[in-house]
Structure 1
Amino acid sequence: MVDFTCLRTKPCPPQQPSSAPPLANTYTISLRQSDGNSQIPTVKVGNQVLKNQPISQPTNPYATPNHAPTSGIITAISPHSDPHPSNQPALHIHIQADGNDHSLPPLQALDYRQHTPETLLTRIQQCGIVGLGGAGFPTARKLSHPSPTLLINAAECEPYITCDDLQIREHSHAILQGAQISAHIIGAQRILIGIEDDKPQALKALQQSAQTLNLPHLEIHSLPTKYPSGNQRQLIELLLNLRIPNHAHASDYGIICHNSATIKAIYDAIACGQPLIERYISVTGEAIAQPQVFRARLGTPIDHLLTHAGGQIHPSRLIIGGPMMGYQLNHLQAGVQKTTNCLLLLPIAQSEQNSEQPCIRCAKCADACPMELLPQQLYWYSRNQQHQRLQQYRLFDCIECGICASVCPSSIPLVQYYRHSKGAIAQAKRKDTAAEIARARHEARQARLERQAAERKARMDAKRAQLQAKTAQQPQKHTPPTHQPPNTPTNNKPLKPPKHARKHAAKRVNKSKAT
């Protein structure tokens, strides 16, 4: 791992508390789910909504709904720019704030010790809680796996980001109570908290709260400030000396890991009955006038937050997240999402304007990789689309930390190549799975048709055999054939002359009458 402590050039002052920006005029709530599908709006254009009111329902039963961040009127449900790595628009609900901020009453507070885990999970899902560390995975689904160990990630190792640090300082008591609730749900007997040693105030606040709450099964570990120790797999390896392979999950090893902000949201949902409508966000970087941490409502336009942070000092590029794993955003009108933890404004450096150069095989990327991969080989196989070789060289062990790209003297965007290859491999697997399903469906249809044909043939054979048996059982009647000459009367009835003979006879009668 790499020490990037020196990159924290403009952190928020320790004495400066978080602040809530004034209400924006409009809020845009993204309906894009983590699986790429859109949620179903439960409101219509022109409807009046209140703060905390549910405004959408997920299509996936494990996903979470969205809630109105303030009171106002639904003005549109249409595509809008979205803070997403693809920079593609998504369906949004547009709320025109009325400025009153009227709210629905909170849900009934629950004593977690008197309710079943299923009831608590329903409340967490109902309040829209997802992982606030970046992935956005539904928290209720993650907590549905019983595990003996609960791991709380308070490391926040990427440069510039300080939102979790400040939230821990201000709400350490609630975070530890949220940890108790989560441990009760999954049946954990051990709670571990990993926090970096460059957060002395947050560490002290956690220790004091733990002493007050008297939590004997709680362990608080101070970690060295090294990037990327805040990644879940690295944190587990540091605290438990266990490396999770890429094809497995931490829950497979009896570990459930949550970000500290997610734990605070769990406490708010259970103990306060409050849905997730706001989060702590770091607005920082060399290009922002007043770096600070906001308690921002979800859906707040990004340019609204930048304006209340003093605005940009000089032209810069906006990054969602940290400088290592974040992605650049081109639309300042996009609204804050549940996974937006940092707005980073950095000046456009001359080195960033350089174009990609050929690889010089210096092996700096391999020396810096925290997963002990061979980024140079992965780069060549990625360029040549050799998917099998990429998997042999453990492409999916890459956590996309960006260290290899940052140390590359040829300015090769290695992580972009890896992300593209991961997507291509996943798409190829989806196609193979679809082809296998289609083949199985075709074979099942052919088998069904053959079975139906065989059944029809069996039924026909059975009927034929039954008729033959019935015919064989009946006595045969032999009657001698009777030969009658033509025009002989039968049943003592005289035969009528042919039609043409009757016509000639009629003509003769008419002539005789005329004469």
Structure 2
Amino acid sequence: MDLQDIIKAAGIIGAGGAGFPTHAKLTSKAEYILLNGAECEPLLRVDQQLMEQFPDEIIRGLEAAGRTIEARKAIMGIKGKHQEVIARLRARIAALGLAGYMEVMELRDIYPAGDEQVLVHELTARIVPEVSIPLKVGCVVINSETALNIWQAMAGKPVTQTYITIAGDIPRRMTVKVPVGMAIREVIRQCGVENIDDYAVIDGGPMMGSLMNNVAGYVTKKSKGYVLLKKNHFLIRKKSVSVDQARVIGRTACEQCRMCTDLCPRYLLGHNMQPHKVMRALSYNLAGGQEQQIAQLCCECNACELFSCPVNLHPKAVNILYKQKLSEQGIKYQPTQLEFQPRSAREYRLIPSKRLVAKIGLTAFDKPAPMTQVEFRPETIHIALRQHIGAPAIPVVAIGEQVKAGQLIGDIPGNSLGAAVHASLDGTVIGNTEHSIVIKVGSYV
């Protein structure tokens, strides 16, 4: 099999974002293959530790992906504050004879440095056009764990585990390797919190992660972090506001100061994303205009809502509201230009990560979350059939069937965009629905 087939068979998806199937990313040729090691979400510590612990594997995985798309250069983007990791990677790149093909570039400690389009500009000085993808400017982007998974797939290992940071207002902050399908509650229990009911849990990073209504879910291949905070914390109260509440508050209180626009990362790249205009469309019931359609340019980084707005309104939520309405009407934003230049003020309006952490009340919790060895022994695991963008996997196992860790249990339907799923632990299939496969784990059978 060629690398694309190997990656497809291993069920590799983007490990740090929406979960786009990686084999589909590598079908086109590009000039650059970029490694996103920015990990710009506050408190999360997965990528930096993986690059320190598995430098050769990540380098080789990135190289293989780059060779597949015939990239002339591979660039690893890492924040300059991680000097030990940078030095280690540079030394290993040289030792592996890849200095002429691969380099490490230092990123500024800004938010959101890990946004795919911000990363492309910081590493190549190119700007991805509106409503487009990095491939449009000759780039393909994967993150550190995805590169590690590519190397593991080349060694015959499908994706059955993921790395997760548990952080926040907790006794023990840690980063752990977790079998896919583990109960989230069991993962969180490792952090030393005795009564989870005293806390609210954010699934993902503090900025873009969503507030969990309960912790009854299960780990997927794209799970990256759980942030636990007391229920009265500013961030929890902010994320608890419903879209309808955000709409009412925005209509009555927005003063059109345009701070949300002036600090918007996509606006600063030259895009037409102007959240204050979307807020204006809401306030004055403007219909059918450009003010509504530009909401589709929002990357939902949440900088407008959690950092920029001086009166704590909810421009991101309003953008999402209009995105949904426009989608229901079949209306798509149509760019009016193809070439973009960064705004002249961009260099003066970048958001420092430390300032962001302070603004959202996380300074006291911005501490290491060291890689910790934990042996999980679940009674059952629930493997979701849709952990990715695209069609859900189709079960290829039946109830009562015994399966081994790494065995294919759900395959891509036909020629659809999707990703295969595999058993993460040995056991017996006891549930098989359109949403997930439930496996009773080995010693409990």
Name 2:313's counterpart in structure 1.
412
Q: Report the CA distance shift for 1:128/1:385 in structure 2 as closer, same or farther (over 3 A).
A: farther
| CA positional deviation for 1:281 | 0.5
| CA positional deviation for 1:309 | 1.7
Q: Give 1:379's aligned amino acid.
A: M
Please give the per-residue CA displacement for 1:318-367, whole angstroms capped at 9, x wherever unaligned. 11111111111122121101111111112234645487641233333233
Name 1:429's counterpart in structure 2.
330
Q: Give 1:390's aligned amino acid.
A: E
2:60/2:151 contact within 8 Å kept: yes
For the residues of structure 2 that align with 1:385 and 1:309, how far apart are their CA atoms? 48
For the residues of structure 1 that align with 2:35 and 2:288, how far apart are their CA atoms? 35
Q: Give 1:251's aligned amino acid.
A: L
Name 1:218's counterpart in structure 2.
102
Name 1:478's counterpart in structure 2.
none
Name 2:181's counterpart in structure 1.
299
Name 1:206's counterpart in structure 2.
89
Matched, 1:365 2:268: no
| CA positional deviation for 1:170 | 0.7
Q: Residue 117 of structure 2: which of 208, 233, 258 is its match?
A: 233
For the residues of structure 2 that align with 1:259 and 1:267, how far apart are their CA atoms? 13
- In our comparison, the structure showing a higher alpha carbon Rg is 1
Name 2:142's counterpart in structure 1.
258
Q: Report the CA distance shift for 1:385/1:340 in structure 2 as closer, same or farther (over 3 A).
A: farther
Name 1:131's counterpart in structure 2.
14
Name 1:402's counterpart in structure 2.
302
Please give the per-residue CA displacement for 1:368-422, whole angstroms capped at 9, x wherever unaligned. 2222243221123246363432356x32332111111113233322211111211
For the residues of structure 1 that align with 2:263 and 2:302, how far apart are their CA atoms? 10
1:280/1:293 contact within 8 Å kept: yes
Give 3-state SS (helix, strand or coil) of 1:145's partner.
coil
For the residues of structure 2 that align with 1:175 and 1:188, how far apart are their CA atoms? 17
Please give the per-residue CA displacement for 1:192-242, whole angstroms capped at 9, x wherever unaligned. 111012222321221121121111111210111000111110011111111
Q: Structure 2 length normalisation: TM-score? A: 0.66
2:258/2:276 contact within 8 Å kept: yes
Name 1:437's counterpart in structure 2.
none
| CA positional deviation for 1:313 | 7.3
Q: Report the CA distance shift for 1:172/1:350 in structure 2 as closer, same or farther (over 3 A).
A: closer
Please give the per-residue CA displacement for 1:164-195, whole angstroms capped at 9, x wherever unaligned. 11111111110000011101211111101110
For the residues of structure 2 that align with 1:295 and 1:238, how far apart are their CA atoms? 30
Name 1:144's counterpart in structure 2.
27
Give 3-state SS (helix, strand or coil) of 1:243's partner.
coil
Please give the per-residue CA displacement for 1:414-433, whole angstroms capped at 9, x wherever unaligned. 211111211221221189xx
Q: Report the CA distance shift for 1:391/1:420 in structure 2 as closer, same or farther (over 3 A).
A: closer
Q: How does 1:298-447 map to 2 (within 5 A)?
A: 298-311=180-193, 315-349=198-232, 351=234, 353=237, 357=249, 358-372=253-267, 373-382=273-282, 384=285, 386-390=287-291, 394-406=294-306, 407-429=308-330
Give 3-state SS (helix, strand or coil) of 1:150's partner.
strand
Q: Give 2:281's aligned amino acid.
A: Y
For the residues of structure 2 that align with 1:250 and 1:374, how far apart are their CA atoms? 21
Give 3-state SS (helix, strand or coil) of 2:301's partner.
coil
1:282/1:342 contact within 8 Å kept: yes
For the residues of structure 2 that align with 1:312 and 1:248, how far apart are their CA atoms? 46
Name 1:490's counterpart in structure 2.
none
2:161/2:177 contact within 8 Å kept: yes
Q: How does 1:39-188 map to 2 (within 5 A)?
A: 119-188=2-71
Q: Give 1:258's aligned amino acid.
A: I
Q: Give 1:160's aligned amino acid.
A: L
RMSD between aligned residues: 2.1
Q: Give 1:369's aligned amino acid.
A: C
The gaps in structure 2 that reach 5 residues or longer are 268-272, 333-445
Give 3-state SS (helix, strand or coil) of 1:371's partner.
helix
Q: Structure 1 length normalisation: TM-score? A: 0.57
1:197/1:224 contact within 8 Å kept: yes
Q: Report the CA distance shift for 1:387/1:129 in structure 2 as closer, same or farther (over 3 A).
A: farther
Give 3-state SS (helix, strand or coil) of 2:214's partner.
coil
Bigger drift between 303-312 and 212-221 goes to 303-312
Please give the per-residue CA displacement for 1:6-35, whole angstroms capped at 9, x wherever unaligned. xxxxxxxxxxxxxxxxxxxxxxxxxxxxxx
**Percentage of identical aligned residues:** 27
2:205/2:227 contact within 8 Å kept: yes
Give 3-state SS (helix, strand or coil) of 1:284's partner.
strand
| CA positional deviation for 1:252 | 2.1
Q: Give 1:420's aligned amino acid.
A: L
For the residues of structure 2 that align with 1:230 and 1:159, how far apart are their CA atoms? 11
Give 3-state SS (helix, strand or coil) of 2:110's partner.
coil
For the residues of structure 2 that align with 1:277 and 1:415, how far apart are their CA atoms? 34
Q: Give 1:196's aligned amino acid.
A: K
For the residues of structure 1 that align with 2:49 and 2:222, how far apart are their CA atoms? 17
Name 2:404's counterpart in structure 1.
none
1:281/1:340 contact within 8 Å kept: yes
For the residues of structure 1 that align with 2:120 and 2:73, how far apart are their CA atoms? 14
For the residues of structure 2 that align with 1:382 and 1:191, how far apart are their CA atoms? 44
| CA positional deviation for 1:312 | 5.6
Q: Report the CA distance shift for 1:125/1:317 in structure 2 as closer, same or farther (over 3 A).
A: same
The gaps in structure 1 that reach 5 residues or longer are 1-114, 432-515
Q: What is the number of residues matched between the two proteins?
A: 311
